[in-house]
Structure 1
Amino acid sequence: MRKYQLKDKVVVITGSTGGLGQATARALRGKGAKLALLDLDLNSVERQANELGGSQVAAGWVADVCSLDSLEKAMTNVVQHFGKIDVVIANAGVGTPASLEHMPPETFERTIDINLNGVFRTFRSALPHVKKTQGYLLAISSLAAFVHSPLNTHYTSSKAGVWALCDSLRLELRHLNIGVGSFHPTFFQTPMMDAVQSNPAGKAVWNGNTGIWKYVPIETVVAELVEGIERRKDIVIVPKSNRLVASTPGLVRSLIEFIGFDQKRLKKTMQLAEKAD
């Protein structure tokens, strides 16, 4: 496939002020893209836009992925400002380890609403504009779409749902020459992961930053993300060595659980989770 040139393409990023959002915005700006930055705090997105070059190449708007109306207004503002939308990255997300038995119901519901329903709302609000440019939609999922860990029923459900949503939507939009991709990185350094590792149960379930759960550099994650857009890929796995895990989750699930979630450590993890709850 011929490379999708990013120069002067208008790219919308939700959750733009988060760790991955900021790193992605800088990388895309380096490719010459124009950036529409969406997040909850106006001061933060305006400051981010100024740091990336100002209103001709980067502009920020308030948008809440839990509100379709908020996203529709933001997309309209983007088009009024830049004239079009070419690429949309549904990046907003949350994740905190907790056991299903003890987590507040609103924690599960909020995670699904932001991580999964938020992708639906982002794509739904952007579609009328992306249809005009035959653009590309990319949702940030996770390796958690394929590796289903304890203390993450809410998170793994949301990320597996994002993967399925993208697969279905791709079929719906193929005849319009609109690409749809899902992005599945393993662990990398962000404030969200710092919070997970600072939680005793979260650190226990992942055994810290070691073994098969070892972090990859955020630079690697962003480089693969940008290449995924340039190739309009259906699915991006980071690191590439995890492709087997992603392509055959049922076949390797038992092996991953045996290696990654030792029975003794798992019992201790659940005891820690009970204390935390």
Structure 2
Amino acid sequence: MTRDLTGQVVMITGAARGLGAALARELAGRGARLALVGLEPDELQAQAEACGNGAQAWTADVTDQAAISAAAEGVRAAFGRIDVLVANAGVATGGTLRIADPVSYDRVVEVNLLGSIRTARAALPHLIDSKGFYLQIASAAALVPNAVMGSYCASKSGVEAFAHSVRSEVRHLGVGVGIAYPLWIDTEMVRGMDEYPAFTIARKGLPWPMNKTYPVAPAVRALADAVAARRVHTMFPRWLWFLYANRAISPSVTPFVVGRLARRAEKAHAQAPKRLGLTGAGGAADDATRSGE
């Protein structure tokens, strides 16, 4: 059943840029009231103004339980309720385990997995009160383990399993839980990945259409539809259902498909060594937050 989103209070993490910001604007256009959470106060405020309809912004690091819990309490105080949580905050880096920057590699898991857990923990009491909906943004990376993306694949597989577990825990409380699996969406994070030759080789060497970059607008429409319908699984693009249905064989097949890409990626990195840090402006914001800038 599709629900009218008019007046629904939606809390989105990672809302300063990219998919989170675009989804906020899409949901605002459908009448929702937006609570935007992220690391960049100026960008968040600009997005809140773009959303209109009384949208507000909170600055919080999702890996900081006290900060994200305070943000959730602030949203409840400002709007009176939280009807929908979209756990979208995420970062990425490229590089095989041998060549990746250890700090950035580990940070991907901290933000994407532990950040989602802490976000859900903060918002869940409010979702129980409203019998609301929690949408976890995972990735096609949860379906196919890819070379040069070990930490990202691990983090997205982790949030998928986590959200499935939470669904079982809160179903009797009237809370719905869904998982979204976007592929390569044309955001700053994905474009930032292409700054690293090692990652570019691994991504663009994938078979078509797995190497294709998809536009933001249809992706956020699919996510907004998922919120309205409280959909359990959302694939974008829709052909990912094929990978979902055949994921049992993926770990056995992918080494033969992408193993050669890992060798090429490491060779490219050796020829032009560069610290493989977090990608895009969002990654830079996370780096700045941890360094205290």
Provide the TM-score with structure 2 as the length reference.
0.88
RMSD: 1.8
**SS of 1:93 mapped into structure 2:** coil
Contact 1:209 1:215 (C-alpha < 8 Å) held by counterparts? no
8 Å CA contact 1:201–1:276 kept in 2: the answer is no
User: Hey, what does 1:238 align to over in structure 2?
Assistant: 236
Q: Would the aligned equivalents of 1:142 and 1:186 in 2 still touch at CA under 8 Å?
A: yes
Instruction: Report the equivalent of 1:58.
Output: 55
> How many pairs were matched up?
272
**CA-to-aligned-CA distance 1:234-272 (integer Å, 9 cap, x gap):** 1111111110202321224545555x5373x44222212
Cα distance in 2 for residues equivalent to 1:143 and 1:32: 29
Structure 2 distance, partners of 1:194, 1:60, is 25
SS in 2 for 1:35: strand
- For 1:209 and 1:196, the matched residues in 2 are separated by 15
Structure 1 residues 125-174: Cα deviation after superposition (integer angstroms, max 9, x where no partner):
00111111000001111000011111111110000001000111100001
Alignment of 1:116 onto 2:116: no
Aligned residue identity for 1:216: Y
Aligned to 1:219: 217
Partner of 2:3: 4
> 1:68-107 to 2 correspondence within 5 Å?
68-107=65-104
**Equivalent in the alignment of 1:156:** 153
1-structure distance, mates of 2:51, 2:222: 21
SS at match of 1:109: helix
**2:47 paired with 1:48:** yes
2:180 — aligned with what?
Answer: 183
Corresponding residue for residue 272 of structure 1 = 268
SS of the residue corresponding to residue 88 of structure 1 reads strand
SS of equivalent residue, structure 1 residue 246? helix
Shift of 1:47: 2.1
For the residues of structure 2 that align with 1:117 and 1:185, how far apart are their CA atoms? 20
Show structure 2 runs of 5+ residues with no match: 276-293
CA displacement, residues 63-87 of structure 1 (integer Å, 9 cap, x when unaligned): 1101110011111111111110000
Give the % identical residues.
Answer: 33
Identify the range of structure 1 (204-213 vs 56-65) with the bigger mean alpha-carbon deviation: 204-213
What are the superposed Cα offsets for residues 178-216 of structure 1, whole Å, 9 maximum, x if unpaired? 011111011110101111112111110012797221122
Secondary structure of the 1:198 match is coil
* 1:60 match: secondary structure: strand
Q: Residue 41 of structure 1: CA displacement?
A: 2.3
The answer (yes or no) to whether the contact 1:99–1:273 under 8 Å persists in 2 is no
| Separation in 2, partners of 1:169, 1:62 | 26
Letter in 2 for 1:92: A
For the structure 1 residues 48 and 199, does the alpha-carbon distance in structure 2 shift closer, same or farther, using more than 3 Å as the test? same
Q: Which moved more, 1:122-131 or 1:96-105?
A: 96-105
Q: Secondary structure at the match of 1:240?
A: coil
The residue aligned with 1:202 is: 199
Question: Matches of 1:219 and 1:73 in 2, distance apart?
Answer: 31
* Partner residue, 1:24: 23
1:174 alignment partner in structure 2 = 171
Kept after mapping to 1: 8 A contact 2:145/2:254: no
